[in-house]
Structure 1
Amino acid sequence: MNADPEIHDVIIVGAGPCGLGVAARLHEETPSAVFTDEEHQRYHWIKKHTGKMNLVQAGSKKKGVRAQKWNRGQKPPPSETETKHENHKERRDSADSASSVPSLSSASSTSSAGSISTLVLDGSGDQWMQRWNNAFRTLEIKQLRSPMFFHVDPGDRDGMLAYAQETGREDDLWEISGCVGKEMSKHKKKKRRQGGKNQTIGGVEIDERDRKDYFSPSTGLFADYCASITHRYGLDEPGTILKHEVTDITYDYLPEDGDSPVSNSKIFTLTTSSGQKFYSRAAVLAIGAGGAGINKIFPWKPSSKEEGAEGCCHSMEIKEFPSPNVRQKISARWQTNVVIVGGGLSSAQILDMAVRKGVTKVWLLMRSGFKVKQFDISLAWMGKYKNWEKAAFWSADTDEGIFRHKRYHYEERRQYHPRYTKIVKQHAAHGRASIHPNTVIKSHEYDVESKTWTLTTDPPIPNLPPIDYIYFATGARADVLEMPLLDHINEQYPIEVIEGLPCLTEDLMWRDDVPLYMTGRMAGLRLGPGAPNLEGARLGAERISWSLEETLGKNREVGEQCEGFCGLGNRYASLLEEAGE
């Protein structure tokens, strides 16, 4: 073994939106420096108490945070247990609220994490958002479902709107109907008629003043905006991302050839599919749908002869569309039939693309009913009353209670977008699609010679012809207990798991003594129902960056105030020192 291996401060596994969100946040010097009224109150509270609190360096277990002095009727200093609880709560609240506001100047941001050694590993390529962009390109998706303020820029909540205006690309923004305006007016009138100002009708709770927020960007605009973020923070430098699939993660002392360790603290060893090893003091697992350890859901497990280019595939594994055998039949002007299984947005997108590519008829099978929804979370989690929803979510007594929260259950995610609902129904009206809700495949048989399927369904579909190809748009399930790269972590540092979701700390850390951070859908029990989407990527990055400040021991006392990439430092402190103030 090399006696002096390179040990990075942080290794991020995954170069998708969640990974980019964390990397960008670590390099933002003044995160969220422009505040809303509520955030202004918090900022003044922090400012008021500056210099009255001693911040203990990371790793110190002696006394936690204590007041230097207390008088004039103040309460005595909190106990160590109370301090730990309050620190978690303050860090979580500050991170979640601060992430929704812009910075003073994103263009002038420099790397406050310049001394932080960061490496990104991703199995799909050496570019940011490569898997994401490939998926959108393959499915020919032109528009995001998310609103304008769902993005990964840590410095500016309205950054995408500003970017669209600065580059003259307002035409790349599509208004999301049904959130504000006429619907809101109807909502208010109905509330007044019924009485009771706390009632809500149809879940419409978005203020008219927020209308500008409810536009969705084109996929091209979003990709370019993400590219501008990577350029701003210097994340597009060669070697920032390495194409490596991580297959194992361990956390332990790293021994030399002899008996003495390289360091007196534990570090992470990340082993890749090629056998190469990388080392870090902290690690961030930012893998999303389709990433390592994410189990794709199938109605049945396809055999090797069924799955692939000729028989069927999962929507996350589409390499070319349509499949070669279907494309061949379309070119020969033969009749073609394709089945899509699934009740979410992906199934509608695949159906639309199949019809446009020339498939004669598409059969859409859904296990549940036909559900229509603008977003993958309710408007209540996005509008002016979202703090009420968050309070109800966080007030659950147990993680089991959080998971069972009626506003959070994952099944609610399988919904159709109104725009694609209209498209699907238009195809059905023209005889190019057949929609079958509450229908499952009862039996299946694949003929290798003819490359067709014979299916029977429950309830039966009359005159269902031989099927040329099946697409399973049935989603994926992430379970930390079934992720091979976490086998050693689960064995050495077990934690509670609820339905596959880890019960992380409030800082999204595996355990207080294991600085393995998780963001995205795996942080769902801490971030709420928005965890798997772009908003969750930004909130998760905020919490992780605050905790990494302590984990890596980068705290410096400048005027008794924390300075570093948590964003609480004062860049003008040195000027005050030179002036003798």
Structure 2
Amino acid sequence: MVSKTYTSSPATSFPALLDVIIIGAGPCGLAVAARLKEETPSALFTDDEHQRYHWINKHRGRMALVQARHGKQKKVKADKWHGYTSRQPFSSTHSESIAGSPPSLSSSVSTASEETEIGAVENDSPSILVLDSTGDNWMERWNRAFETLEIQQLRSPMFFHVDPGDRDGMLAYTQETGRDSDLWEISGCVGKELSKHKKKKKLRSKPVAIGDVEIDERDRKDYFSPSTGLFSDYCSSIIARYGLNTPGMIQRREVNDIQYGYHPELSPSDKIFTVTASDGTVFYSRTVVLAIGLGRTKVIPFKLNGEETNGACHSTEIRSFPSSNVKRKIQQRQETNLVVVGGGLSSAQIVDLAIRKGVSKVWFLLRSDFKVKHFDIDLTWMGKFKNYEKAAFWSADTDEERFEMIKIARNGGSITPRYQKILKQHAARHRVSIHPRTVICGHEYCPVSQTWRLATDPPIPDLPRIDYIYFATGMQADVGELPLLQWMNREYPIETTQGLPCITDDLMWKANLPLFVTGRLGALRLGPAAPNLEGARLGAERIAWGMEEVLGRRRDRENTPTERSKECFCGLGNRYAGLADVDW
């Protein structure tokens, strides 16, 4: 598709009209941008078809096909597919800048010499601009959060990532770069490693060694999660592969308004989006993707006033750890006491980091029970039979029913077995005191001593004065409270369920209104995994198909002789459809 860009007449200053504006440069935004650049997404092909498709593209115009006619063999050259630009750099200059980037999958990238030999092809990618309130780089908030809390491992398995080209791309990248040591075994999961004598009896496929662990070839990707460094480098390779790091593609802007309607300087038949940033800058686009993650409303037990903000913060607000007053007491070898409120993995990671930083003792308060799970959703939604759960979810009659299924699948915050073991070790040394089903019912902050006096229900005996409180209590997703959607909620209102928007199956705000929503806010259509990396990739796939309808790409390309010939050569689609082009 050639991007349709509207420009103003010489007498006006109307800027170019973009195809896509993505709000949010986190995993969901990156997944959408990469998917829009990918011509052969893994979701549309089996592994064999995917490999064959890339092989054909790699050798197009140079492979000899043998054709038999009247008993003689005649060699012909395959036609080049000039309209096909799989994995082309964003610009000609960009291919030089990615030479020092982390290597991407060798099976998925054409070399510069091949591109030169094939010749120039048109770039049919949509024009994309990304606006993010945190910075002008992909995954900046994500990476900063992991660095601040010194988190070394992702909770998700290897097949949860944002690469649209290959479901097992991260595993291939790990093996290609020789970084098996960056894989963390998810021990005790379904399909747990069998002893060698049991493997000989029960396993039909040959076990494959990854590191020092032998696992079944059929299930190897289910048993490991990547280190944060490996995942970050893999994302960098995806960014480089699709040319998503060109200057100016990502701008640090806080978006505070989105409007949709006709513009007097453009065609009267087309509606566009007007996106306004907090500094007054205005952007125009045919489509907008809302990939803002968790939302804005913090869930905390009590509201903090001006002075109390010096003694407590939400986990999303942590910029350095520990706080300055606690750090000063540690340096002076004074006793320090912290309270961490939560129940999810982030709260456990904060508790562990506080002990490692030298805090004397941490009181860990959980509103509900101490729950231990490998993942933040039930394994039935992530394993090999997750399609059963997804089918039941998509077949639900109402969004209220889907919301209840989401609640059951996620079941509040939980902690991994690894961190359960870490917390138990700290508790055995009397450095951590764990209190499930406990809430703060009274608080008093002294600005002079910078300490808290807390009352809990049930009471905690001998609870000392607390130097700092961390609320790892999550965020509330309420589409009605987002400032940037106030105009949309007023002019194009939609139904909501517990704060989640009831969007279309294509993740659009309304039919024929191309404001796409992904991530946690798209949970009523994507399911319980919507806030996770898996949800980011699934959301990107749906959005890409919806955008093809909006941007006219499918209408421009479908049923063309070249497209049918390409699909027929790949063994896809209806190969007899090409007979319609024959002049009988």
Structure 1 pair 7/340, CA: closer, same or farther in 2 (3 Å)? same
Deviations for 1:84-143, whole angstroms, at most 9, x for unmatched residues?
Answer: xxxxxxxxxxxxxxxxxx999421399996341110000100000000000000000000
Equivalent in 238, 260, 267 of residue 247 of structure 2: 238
- Are 1:499 and 2:498 counterparts? yes
How far did 1:387 drift? 1.1
Aligned partner of residue 143 in structure 1, secondary structure: coil
Match of 1:479 in 2: 478
Structure 1 pair 460/183, CA: closer, same or farther in 2 (3 Å)? farther
Structure 2 residue runs of 5 or longer lacking an equivalent are 1-10, 54-103, 116-120, 199-214, 573-577
CA separation in 1, counterparts of 2:448 and 2:409?
40
Match of 1:247 in 2: 256
Consecutive aligned runs of 4 or more in structure 1 exceeding 6 Å deviation? 109-113, 567-573
CA separation in 1, counterparts of 2:153 and 2:14?
48
CA separation in 1, counterparts of 2:525 and 2:323?
40
Q: Report if the CA contact (8 A) 2:23-2:289 is conserved.
A: yes
Equivalent in 212, 234, 246 of residue 225 of structure 1: 234
Deviations for 1:160-206, whole angstroms, at most 9, x for unmatched residues?
Answer: 11111111110000110122444899xx9xxxxxxxxxxxxxxxxx9
Structure 1 pair 285/182, CA: closer, same or farther in 2 (3 Å)? closer
Equivalent in 119, 123, 141 of residue 131 of structure 1: 141
Deviations for 1:555-581, whole angstroms, at most 9, x for unmatched residues?
Answer: 3455716999xx9798999xx99x999
Q: Report if the CA contact (8 A) 2:32-2:543 is conserved.
A: yes
Equivalent in 285, 293, 300 of residue 288 of structure 1: 293
Match of 2:82 in 1: none
Match of 2:183 in 1: 173
CA separation in 2, counterparts of 1:568 and 1:544?
23
Structure 1 pair 352/497, CA: closer, same or farther in 2 (3 Å)? same
Aligned AA for 2:287?
A
Match of 2:532 in 1: 533
Structure 1 pair 232/36, CA: closer, same or farther in 2 (3 Å)? closer
Aligned AA for 1:471?
Y
CA separation in 2, counterparts of 1:435 and 1:340?
10
Q: Report if the CA contact (8 A) 2:26-2:141 is conserved.
A: yes
Q: TM-score if structure 1 supplies the norm length?
A: 0.78
- Are 1:339 and 2:303 counterparts? no
Aligned AA for 1:335?
E
Structure 1 pair 569/479, CA: closer, same or farther in 2 (3 Å)? farther
Equivalent in 19, 23, 39 of residue 29 of structure 1: 39
Q: TM-score if structure 2 supplies the norm length?
A: 0.78
Aligned AA for 2:124?
G
Aligned AA for 1:14?
G
Deviations for 1:206-261, whole angstroms, at most 9, x for unmatched residues?
Answer: 998313332010000000000000000000111110110111111111234xxxx5
How far did 1:410 drift? 7.2
CA separation in 2, counterparts of 1:559 and 1:397?
33
Count of residue correspondences: 486
Match of 1:465 in 2: 464
- Are 1:303 and 2:302 counterparts? no
Q: Report if the CA contact (8 A) 1:126-1:241 is conserved.
A: yes
- Are 1:209 and 2:218 counterparts? yes
CA separation in 1, counterparts of 2:105 and 2:261?
38
Structure 1 pair 152/112, CA: closer, same or farther in 2 (3 Å)? farther
Structure 1 pair 215/334, CA: closer, same or farther in 2 (3 Å)? same
Aligned partner of residue 338 in structure 1, secondary structure: strand
Structure 1 pair 230/568, CA: closer, same or farther in 2 (3 Å)? farther
How far did 1:294 drift? 2.1
Structure 1 pair 487/207, CA: closer, same or farther in 2 (3 Å)? farther
Q: Report if the CA contact (8 A) 1:30-1:103 is conserved.
A: no
Aligned partner of residue 308 in structure 2, secondary structure: coil
Structure 1 pair 255/559, CA: closer, same or farther in 2 (3 Å)? closer
Aligned AA for 1:438?
R
Return the structure number with greater relative CO, CA threshold 8 A, min gap 6. Answer: 1
Structure 1 pair 514/559, CA: closer, same or farther in 2 (3 Å)? closer
How far did 1:445 drift? 0.4
Aligned partner of residue 10 in structure 1, secondary structure: strand
Structure 1 pair 562/446, CA: closer, same or farther in 2 (3 Å)? farther
CA separation in 1, counterparts of 2:264 and 2:282?
14
Q: Report if the CA contact (8 A) 1:122-1:243 is conserved.
A: yes
CA separation in 1, counterparts of 2:568 and 2:30?
23
- Are 1:437 and 2:448 counterparts? no
CA separation in 2, counterparts of 1:139 and 1:298?
20
- Are 1:396 and 2:407 counterparts? no
Aligned partner of residue 271 in structure 1, secondary structure: strand
Aligned partner of residue 256 in structure 2, secondary structure: strand
Structure 1 pair 568/438, CA: closer, same or farther in 2 (3 Å)? farther
Q: Report if the CA contact (8 A) 1:557-1:563 is conserved.
A: no
Structure 1 pair 557/272, CA: closer, same or farther in 2 (3 Å)? closer
Match of 1:366 in 2: 366
CA separation in 2, counterparts of 1:294 and 1:319?
17
Q: Report if the CA contact (8 A) 2:105-2:169 is conserved.
A: no
Aligned AA for 2:157?
P
Aligned AA for 1:426?
Q
Question: Please, which moves more after superposition, 528-537 or 102-111?
Answer: 102-111
CA separation in 1, counterparts of 2:385 and 2:188?
17
Q: Report if the CA contact (8 A) 1:245-1:272 is conserved.
A: yes
Match of 2:382 in 1: 382
Q: Report if the CA contact (8 A) 2:23-2:29 is conserved.
A: yes
Equivalent in 166, 173, 176 of residue 156 of structure 1: 166
CA separation in 1, counterparts of 2:249 and 2:568?
26
Aligned AA for 1:431?
H
Q: Report if the CA contact (8 A) 1:501-1:524 is conserved.
A: yes
Identity among equivalent positions (%) equals: 63
After TM superposition, list the pairs within 5 Å mapping 1:51-62 onto structure 2. none
